Structure 1
């Protein structure tokens, strides 16, 4: 299958190498041509995982998004949600009928990006989908080298518009067999693990993050008090899913820490053992704040408000982060209110998610 990978981060390089090695025709697009040049020059990415180290050639590495998208059946965008606006506008002139765009994860980006593309004047019949996490726990170790610690074994995925779910899931499964349909885009967004894992870790590790040059929030930073808050926040997420009529499995985050039933299986120990997450994290600029808190947690809290679910942990964490950022995160760009969804009835919302806008 012809696949376009859009992005230049850990997930994009992991996806490009992994899917190319699996036999797909992969085109990797990155807007920063200079940063992409090592991959362009070599024509390959160095992939490291439990099987060893090897060179994986790509069909194309390009800074021309039109060239990457041309003829692609599947478009994979494993980028932070903060990049989705610019990418949507860049890809809008080039999308055509029948393409599937997959956001792992999306932070409700499937709805947001589809809307932006339509507002730009492109009315192509494109399907959008999003899942709850990246298909890989991965970190780049060099200009064109990526280390994959764990691959996801379960990827609950929602589709927008949901009426296209069956054929969309079938296409994505050709690349990611671990994908499992979980309903519409809202269901997919409420599977997003980042806004549940990362805000408590950031808030409750704020002092050591600012004191130490490098700190592993998943190792020393994950203590019983942090886990207790994370578990309660996840219960709020599940309560919101249930309020929208979304059924199990909800992929409770406790499974990530305690057993092998979560999206990555028994991954937490491997994540800590790798050492790749001992890093410098800036409390104002890291994606755990800009993506998972300002967008993702704000979205979850707004969904709770809409559904009438009491979510004190979500709103409390938002208030604390808003305190050190100096702004009210309830007014962020990815909330039910900002997206114009708060004025819809539940029936109207369900109809929009199923049929499209």
Structure 2
């Protein structure tokens, strides 16, 4: 199959490797040509769970019109704060209403923001699906190499009612992906919005003082951080319940993904430090790191929007958002709010109808 991977960072490079190894023709697109330049001469180097070697995608381009010309589907593997921009760009470039798009990942509210931005340019939405989290734990040790230390074993996926073709394709292209019911379930199963903000916020001074020279999930996972994480997780589970979903703790979710030990107690948040894929990951080096930019403004913020629609209070999430905004000292920052998701004035019944679920 001819597949366009949008984004050449950690996740995009990993997706291009996995899909190419599976026999697909992959065109890798990045907004900046400089991101692709390291792959131009010898291809993408890879190491870790998918083996070791180099491969050349069928195409490398920073020209979106060229990228979409001869592909059958797209996998968007960009930072989630780029979803609105890439939706508009695809609509303007003439993607059309038939070719599926898969957000890997959508995180919280990704499908809602993508749909809203796309429809603002072109009325008819293509089949659209999302994963709850990135399929990989991956980092680039060098600009031309991606090290894949984790691959989700069971990956939640869902689509809008019109996007079944994208959901079916997602489950074929990415083994282990499964239909999670609706995009409220996938959005509220975003593990990053639970495991990153407490440690990022409570460890902000340590990150700034050391430039992130400590292990985020081991040295940074102190009892105090875990207490806050547990309370934040309880808010997430309560919001899910208000929409009829019974979700596991974040440890239970990570156990299914394979990023904590398979025998981990779902109520023991110390298990995060025991996950082999996470053990060596360093802390953020500045407050401009994606743990702050992405997991607060595009994780916790949309979570609180959905919580307000559900009528569930989220004092822990609200406090973390407020502290992050103050600590970063940036004033107004881009977020995935109600307007970006098309949820201004939305009721619980209206949201359920939008995702294709009958209200109860």
TM-score by length of 2: 0.87
Measured in 2, the distance between the counterparts of 1:135 and 1:327 equals 31
Which residue of 345, 349, 352 corresponds with 2:351?
A: 349
**1:252 corresponding residue in structure 2:** 249
Show the 5 A alignment for 1:15-34.
Answer: 15-34=15-34
Measured in 1, the distance between the counterparts of 2:339 and 2:62 equals 35
SS of equivalent residue, structure 1 residue 99:
coil
**1:281 corresponding residue in structure 2:** 285
1:83 aligns with 2:96: no
**1:64 corresponding residue in structure 2:** 63
| Cα RMSD after superposing both structures | 2.3
**2:266 corresponding residue in structure 1:** none
- The alpha-carbon deviation at position 265 of structure 1 amounts to 5.5
Is the Cα–Cα contact under 8 Å of residues 251 and 262 in structure 1 kept in the other structure? no
**2:143 corresponding residue in structure 1:** 143
Is the Cα–Cα contact under 8 Å of residues 135 and 155 in structure 2 kept in the other structure? yes
Measured in 2, the distance between the counterparts of 1:112 and 1:338 equals 5
Is the Cα–Cα contact under 8 Å of residues 214 and 283 in structure 2 kept in the other structure? yes
- The alpha-carbon deviation at position 86 of structure 1 amounts to 2.3
Is the Cα–Cα contact under 8 Å of residues 70 and 94 in structure 1 kept in the other structure? no
- The alpha-carbon deviation at position 227 of structure 1 amounts to 1.5
Report the CA distance shift for 1:51/1:294 in structure 2 as closer, same or farther (over 3 A): closer
**2:2 corresponding residue in structure 1:** 2
Is the Cα–Cα contact under 8 Å of residues 81 and 336 in structure 2 kept in the other structure? no
Is the Cα–Cα contact under 8 Å of residues 253 and 262 in structure 1 kept in the other structure? no
SS of equivalent residue, structure 1 residue 354:
coil
1:236 aligns with 2:235: yes
SS of equivalent residue, structure 2 residue 336:
coil
Measured in 2, the distance between the counterparts of 1:335 and 1:84 equals 13
1:206 aligns with 2:204: yes
Equivalences, count: 343
**1:119-138 per-position Cα deviation (integer Å, ceiling 9, x unaligned):** 11x24451111222110100
SS of equivalent residue, structure 2 residue 276:
helix
Show the 5 A alignment for 1:308-327.
Answer: 308-326=311-329
Is the Cα–Cα contact under 8 Å of residues 128 and 167 in structure 2 kept in the other structure? no
**1:200-258 per-position Cα deviation (integer Å, ceiling 9, x unaligned):** 0111111211111322211200122212211221111111111012x23x24212367x
**1:261-283 per-position Cα deviation (integer Å, ceiling 9, x unaligned):** 3454638521344x3x2255211
**1:334 corresponding residue in structure 2:** 336
Report the CA distance shift for 1:231/1:175 in structure 2 as closer, same or farther (over 3 A): same
Q: Any unmatched runs of 5+ in structure 2?
A: 262-271
SS of equivalent residue, structure 1 residue 79:
coil
